[in-house]
Chain A
Amino acid sequence: MRVLILGIAGGIARKLATRLLDAGHEVMGLDVRPWSSAPQGIEFHRVDVRKRAAEDIFRRRRPQAVVHMATITALTMRGGERGRINLDGTKAVFDHCRDYGVKQVLFVGRHTFYGAAPDSPLYHNEDEPPRALEKVPELADLVAADLYAATALWRMPDITAAVLRVCYTLGAPGTGTLAGFLRGRRVPQVLGYDPLFQVMQEEDVVTAIHLALEKRVRGIFNVAGPPPVPFSIIIRETGRTPVPLPEFLLARLLGRAGFPRLSRGALSHIKYPIVVDAQRFREATGFRYAFDEGRILRTFRESAPLPGPEL
């Protein structure tokens, strides 16, 4: 199968590209970020998915399957540009897929779609609407991109489309939202709250996407690995020190004093859990995780040692 990966220079996307290549697929990808160490056999184009050059790749190379991972989380970029990449980029991808005969599209989204709210059910299934968006407006464009991608299911019935809502990932070396939050020696918590977090090893995420491609799944699927664990256990087992602070104080300290950056609204994500029920995906693909929660945390601890001496 000829697979095009959008956002291929990202941590998980690189591993996916290599895995697909090893499995005998023809792999190409594009990203605005560089990937100088791209393995031989992977065709890499450094272009923006919204630009004409990206459309040219669709036209010339005619991919059979597209994995769309070129979206940006709230933490890495602020403001309108993020919204343009997430929404305009996603629209461009689906338009090109329709225009150039792509048979299958996977939109790789995030489980934070569901929002963190005190009165939400603990386990979210795919039929639920996004909640508590007003608390974290920075997530709105990702939620919109997810919902927009899902419209392909009825707008483009000839394409096998799927939206994957993937939980937090940790890897070695770790990339992504949670790994960024755990980078420092001290990790803040909101005093009196200890939400459950679902983590998944990067290799397992790659397996899940690979399976979704091979099984040609269609629809919306939550993707998760082992059962969730409390945030405090994640912090401790990765060798960090939890620092519980009252919410009003923590809101002022974020991004300062060695604490990670997080918008004030996103504090709800370390107060209340976002846990997904991934049964539908397991049934559709037969996916089984290889890394349990203990192994994921130990692997991260070993690969991401504590920075600098203790203050």
Chain B
Amino acid sequence: MSREESLTERADRLELPFNEFGVDPYGISKKHIAMAASVFAVLYRNYFRVKCYGLEHVPPRGRGMLVGNHSGGYALDGAMVITSMFLEMNPPRLAQGMAEKFINRFPVASLWTSRTGQFTGLPEHALRLLEDDRLLMVFPEGARGTAKLYKERYSLVDFGSGFIRLALQTRTPIIPFAFLGGGSALPTIANLYRLGRLFGVPYIPVTPYLLPLPLPAPLEIHYGEPLTFTGSGDEDDEVIAGYVEQVKSRIAGLIEKGRTARQGRLGS
């Protein structure tokens, strides 16, 4: 059986309400998912040789929020997390990211993000998807997180707090994850903000070899035990900040643990 066939079959096994045209009520298309997966599976398996740990913590169905750190100069981390859910989970799951607003303005990017369920990061989208028992992928560091330089690759910048309010409101378990290696795959030494603005993007990352293309560095994703908070989502900011801090420290712990194990394995 060819790899393409097996990816198409995996797309068939996604537990989403596809209609006779293979499209779900959000416009997510089986055909487009299988096509995107055929590219990302090669990157995942052969180029970055992604290793995934703790998959048992991700619920096989029902609502969930994957919350992790940004690693690497652009959304490579998100693409690999989505690919891990598609290739490693049984049945496969579609992780739906909350994309930066600028992405939907661009031709082609608009089409592919729409057909693969990677919608603009609006609270309305997150709320609706969670209430529909989807799996959301959130990077609370936002664009500040992808802008981390190589030397800051294991650090975490400030987290937004909207994801905690949404999790409380929708009674969604948070599955923390650590993403390791993105900083080495895309070693950013500087970000060009002015040039980025000219192209309508937040910034353009610069690597020692100038082009913002990723190196074949091994990547790792460590999923941790789910965190469940109870509340209404209307709590005071201080309460929410406490929950955010708990998630952040859990992710920092996963990064540290993964980093130690990785150093042992890679000898660096």
A230 touches B107 (CB 8 A): no
Contact with B along A248-287 (1 / 0, CB 8 A): 0000000000000000000000011100000000000000
Chain B residue with minimal CB distance to A297? B21
Residue from B109, B119, B120 with most neighbouring chain A CB atoms (10 Å): B120
Q: Known: A118-B110, A192-B108. Is A229-B19 also a contact (CB below 8 A)?
A: yes
Among A118, A191, A294, contact of B19 (Cβ-Cβ < 8 Å): A294
Residues of A contacting B29 with CB < 8 Å? 230
Interchain CA distance A228-B119 in the complex, whole Å: 16
8 Å CB contacts to A: which residues of B148-170? none
Contact among A123, A192, A237, A272 with B124 in the assembled complex (CB-CB below 8 Å): A123
Give B189 Cβ to nearest chain A Cβ, in Å.
Answer: 31
**Bound-complex Cα distance A119 to B123 (A):** 12
Q: Does A190 contact B (CB under 8 A)?
A: yes
Residues from chain B with a CB closer than 8 A to the CB of A191 are 107
Give Cα A118 to B121, complex, Å: 12
What's the tally of chain A residues with a CB closer than 8 Å to chain B? 27
Give the distance in Å from the alpha carbon of A193 to the alpha carbon of B114 in the complex: 9
- Partner pick for A122 among B101, B107, B110, B119, CB 8 A cutoff: B119
Interface contact A230-B110, CB-CB below 8 Å: no
Q: Are A194 and B125 in contact (CB under 8 A)?
A: no
Is B27's CB under 8 angstroms from A230's CB? yes
- CB <8 Å contact, B125 and A121: yes
| A228 in contact with B25 (CB, 8 Å) | yes
- With most chain A CB atoms within 10 A of its CB, the pick from B29, B110, B115, B125 is B110
Q: State in angstroms the CA–CA spacing of A226 and B122 once bound together.
A: 24
Q: How many A-B residue pairs have CB under 8 A?
A: 68
Would A294 and B110 count as touching, CB distance under 8 A? Answer: no
A192 touches B20 (CB 8 A): no
Minimum CB distance partner of A294 in chain B: B20
Chain B: CB-nearest residue to A233: B21
Q: Which residues of B contact A247 (CB under 8 A)?
A: 107
Q: How far is the CB of B21 from chain A (nearest CB, A)?
A: 5
Distance in angstroms between the alpha carbons of A123 and B21 in the assembled complex: 20
Write the residues of chain B forming the contact surface with A, with a CB cutoff of 8 angstroms. Answer: 19-21, 23-27, 29, 101, 104-111, 114-115, 119-120, 122, 124-125, 128
A-B contact pairs, 17 of them (CB 8 A): A118-B101, A118-B110, A118-B120, A121-B122, A122-B27, A122-B128, A192-B106, A192-B108, A193-B111, A194-B111, A194-B115, A195-B114, A227-B19, A227-B24, A229-B23, A246-B107, A294-B20
